[in-house]
């Protein structure tokens, strides 16, 4: 009886500590990633090269994506508050880079680890899922900032030439592995830029860290808000044609 009571007290005391640790763990610097000795951006791992060589199948990808839906949701639009990012319309090359770099430990993501490990998905399934996601339309509305700061955000984006890599419409660059940043959830964009600024996003382009490093928190909020309010880049590009 006594032991049971003690165990209960221990559990109630430990649970909040455990939860707090899990959050702090997200802030860990990757020992292999940005800021570590010998880090070179864009080194393609053997697994990334292997996945990129496979012939993908979007239908099989839809099946395999079942294992990802718990967080990224059935339509892959993530969660409005940005806890889980939107994956619809992301370049296949970017999805492959991010997933294989979570697997290699370059990008730390303890929440996703067990679902993206090689026990959970094969290289072929990564290729299939990446292809499937790149074909998906952006349907549901995404999370925006609490205030419309897009004028200030746009000025910062232009002045710091973020578009050299992420494009004028936030469309990224599939060939160069630069992610789409348009129409992404505000909460996710802001969190990533805080990580990039602090050097705790393991896979970061050093040129971007330098630019974002000069931003105040208010600047980061403005840029995140601007990007979250951009429409799906595919709609913009289709109109221009
Ligand atoms: C338990 C929750 C969870 C599951 C299941 C999960 N993810 Fe994630 N995923 C996350 C979180 C959280 C992030 C954002 C991490 C961060 O903030 O750095 C993320 C980020 C990503 C990203 C990076 C997006 C970007 O814009 O850089 C990709 C790609 C991704 N997940 C793909 C997948 C795939 C494919 C699966 C299934 C094989 C999967 N995820 C399953 C939680 C999950
Ligand atoms: C030299 C190219 C380059 C420049 C310049 C650049 N970025 Fe990036 N950015 C990247 C790459 C590459 C990633 C993905 C991280 C990786 O895979 O290494 C990224 C990721 C991001 C992300 C997270 C997206 C996601 O889906 O996880 C945001 C937000 C972002 N950049 C914003 C910016 C802003 C704002 C600027 C301008 C201050 C900027 N970037 C300048 C290359 C660049």
The predicted-structure confidence for 77-102, as pLDDT tens digits, reads as follows: 999 999 999 999 999 999 999 999 99
State mean pLDDT over 8-24: 41
Q: Are 128 and 56 in contact (CB under 8 A)?
A: yes
**Residue with CA nearest ligand 1 atom 9:** 112
State mean pLDDT over 50-68: 98
Q: How far is the CA of 92 from the centre of ligand 1 (A)?
A: 14
Cα–Cα dist 102/169, whole Å: 27
pLDDT higher than 50, residue 37: yes
State mean pLDDT over 218-223: 98
Cα–Cα dist 206/167, whole Å: 18
**Residue with CA nearest ligand 2 atom 39:** 162
Q: Are 162 and 173 in contact (CB under 8 A)?
A: no
Confidence tier at 18 by pLDDT (50, 70, 90): very low
**Residue with CA nearest ligand 2 atom 3:** 165
Triad 44, 47, 49: Cα angle to 5°: 50
Q: How far is the CA of 110 from the centre of ligand 1 (A)?
A: 10
The answer, yes or no, to whether any atom of ligand 1 lies below 6 A from the CB of 200, is: no
Of ligand 2's atoms, which has the minimum distance to the CA of residue 41? Answer: 18
Q: How far is the CA of 173 from the centre of ligand 1 (A)?
A: 20
Confidence tier at 19 by pLDDT (50, 70, 90): very low
**Residue with CA nearest ligand 1 atom 37:** 68
Cβ neighbours of residue 186 closer than 8 Å, sequence gap 6 or more? 82, 142, 143, 144, 145, 224, 225, 228
Q: Are 116 and 99 in contact (CB under 8 A)?
A: yes
Highest mean pLDDT among 9-13, 16-20, 137-141: 137-141
CA atoms within 13 A on the CB side of 150: 12
């Amino acid at each position: 009886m006594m032991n049971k009571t003690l165990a209960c007290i221990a559990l109630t005391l430990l649970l909040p500590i455990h939860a707090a640790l899990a959050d702090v763990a997200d802030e860990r610097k990757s020992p292999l990633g940005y800021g570590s000795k010998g880090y070179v951006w864009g080194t393609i791992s053997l697994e990334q090269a292997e996945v990129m060589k496979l012939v993908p199948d979007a239908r099989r990808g839809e099946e395999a994506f079942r294992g990802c839906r718990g967080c990224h949701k059935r339509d892959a639009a993530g969660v409005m508050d940005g806890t889980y990012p939107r994956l619809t319309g992301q370049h296949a090359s970017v999805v492959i880079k991010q997933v294989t770099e979570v697997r290699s430990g370059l990008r730390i993501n303890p929440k996703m680890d067990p679902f993206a490990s090689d026990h959970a998905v094969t290289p072929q399934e990564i290729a299939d899922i990446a292809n499937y996601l790149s074909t998906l339309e952006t349907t549901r509305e995404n999370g925006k900032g609490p205030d419309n700061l897009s004028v200030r955000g746009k000025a910062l984006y232009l002045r710091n030439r973020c578009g050299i890599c992420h494009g004028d419409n936030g469309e990224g660059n599939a060939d160069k592995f630069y992610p789409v940043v348009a129409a992404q959830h505000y909460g996710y964009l802001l969190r990533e830029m805080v990580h990039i600024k602090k050097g705790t996003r393991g896979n970061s382009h050093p040129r971007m860290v330098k630019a974002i490093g000069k931003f105040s928190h208010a600047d980061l909020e403005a840029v995140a808000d601007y990007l979250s309010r951009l429409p799906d880049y595919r709609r913009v590009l289709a109109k221009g044609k």
